[in-house]
Amino acid sequence: MQRSTHDDVRLLLEHQAPGGAYVASPSFSQYPFCWLRDGAFIAHALERAGERASAARFHAWVARAVKGRESDVRELIARGAAGDTVDHERMLPTRFTLDGSSEVDGGWPDFQLDGYGQWLWSLGQHSRGGALAEDVRGAAALVADYLEAFWDEPCYDAWEEGRTQHHTSTLASVAAGLRAAGVFLEPGYAVTGDAVWRFVRERCMSDGHFVKAVRNPAVDASLVWLATPLGLVDDADSPFARTLARVEEELLTRDGLLRYRADTFYGGGAWVLLTAGLAWHHARAGRVERARELLGLAERHRTADGNLPEQVPTEGTDAWFLDYWTRRWGPTASPLLWSHAMVVLAQLEIAEAACRGRHSTPTS
């Protein structure tokens, strides 16, 4: 069941809070919050769809939430610079309540840097459409300073796992965010971003391809983000091309793309947002038919009312873990706004790539 881009955009707009936050899922018991990771992608999707005002409200909301914690962040940065022990429990939170006034309690992992790098990257894309407000620039500078100070601290990854590791997609998100800040704030941030990216090229590769984390040779679907959307490599980069081939060989099922092979969350199903993200990448690389196939695979999992879930079971799903998480939290989140955002991005990229193909000049 396929819906129009307009329908998905409307759903995203309907679930933006009055203050600007995007709820992760309006109906799932564990996701009535805003993750900067999800929000950065959602804001970018709406920006691409012509809803710049919605993206601006999100960025202003993030700025308020971050600036409200400025004194704590500056103290943490100062302690780190002095070589003192830094309490990771006081780091900027991974998720916020929708009013931005408080972080979420309840035992969730909370020291996670990728969302802050992704926010700076998304804000950099937004800044191309016009000057940023001073309060947003101030918050962005605070976040950039925070990432400069702590990028090499092991932290939870994009999936809120692996607290003691250096994760490739996290480091890449930080590198891309600091490079973006080097454009719309000051060039010095890009210098650090380049250093983070060198660390990735030196420490996060094995056998000629990128890996899930330092000294972890597995592949993770989030490695696609190195090219799309973060733009740290292009599709022709040899290590990335090998990485993409491994991702598709090991993680792509007939139901969609897995996060990583050892995943047990809801049995380790296929994630709609990752399948759509892979379609987005192939469209950017000019492989329009492949992108359409993958988008169709993601679209196949719409519910009768047009919602897209977080993930769906596959033939390889672990039934025990699927039952465990379903008993604990209920069925998987649906709708998941991040899934809808990635489908929008794939839809728009496919349309643009197809248009480019129709208007390209043949070569002799």
Give the domain ranges of the chain: 5-353
For residue 22, the SS3 value is strand
Q: Write down the catalytic residue from 99, 160, 235, 237.
A: 160
| Average pLDDT over every residue of 45-68 | 98
Q: How far is CA 103 from CA 94, 147, 170, 238, in A?
A: 8, 19, 20, 41
Query: What one-character-per-residue DSSP string does 215-272 give?
Result: TB----GGGGGGTTTT-SS-TT-HHHHHHHHHHHHHHEETTEEES-TT--GGGT-EEH
Q: How far is CA 230 from CA 125, 222, 258, in A?
A: 10, 11, 20
pTM: 0.96
Exposed e or buried b per residue across 70-98, where buried means at least 16 C-beta atoms within 10 angstroms of its C-beta: eeebeebbeeeeeeeebeeeebbbbbbbb
Check if 352 is active-site.
Answer: no
pLDDT tens-digit series, residues 187-200: 999 999 999 999 99
**Cα–Cα distance between 93 and 103 in angstroms, integer?**
6
Q: Which of 31-40, 95-104, 126-135, 272-281 has the lowest mean pLDDT?
A: 95-104
* Structure tokens given for 194: 């380049």
Q: Write down the catalytic residue from 114, 299, 310, 349.
A: 310
According to the model, what pLDDT value does residue 364 have? 34
Exposed e or buried b per residue across 290-314, where buried means at least 16 C-beta atoms within 10 angstroms of its C-beta: bbbebbebbbebbeeeebbbbbbbb
**Cβ 85 vs Cβ 141: under 8 Å:** no
- Domain made up of 5-353: CATH architecture: Alpha/alpha barrel (1.50)
Place of tokens 């691409």: 48
Q: Write down the catalytic residue from 157, 255, 263, 349.
A: 157
Q: Is the pLDDT of residue 236 over 80?
A: yes
Contacts 24+ apart (CB under 8 A), 8-12: 8/308, 8/340, 8/341, 8/343, 8/344, 8/347, 9/45, 9/46, 9/49, 9/51, 9/344, 11/306, 11/307, 11/335, 11/337, 11/340, 12/42, 12/45, 12/46, 12/54, 12/337, 12/340, 12/341, 12/344
Chain-wide mean pLDDT for the chain? 95
pLDDT tens-digit series, residues 326-360: 999 999 999 999 999 999 999 999 999 988 877 66
* Structure tokens given for 251: 């993680």
Higher pLDDT, 101 or 324: 324
**Cβ 77 vs Cβ 146: under 8 Å:** yes
Check if 310 is active-site.
Answer: yes
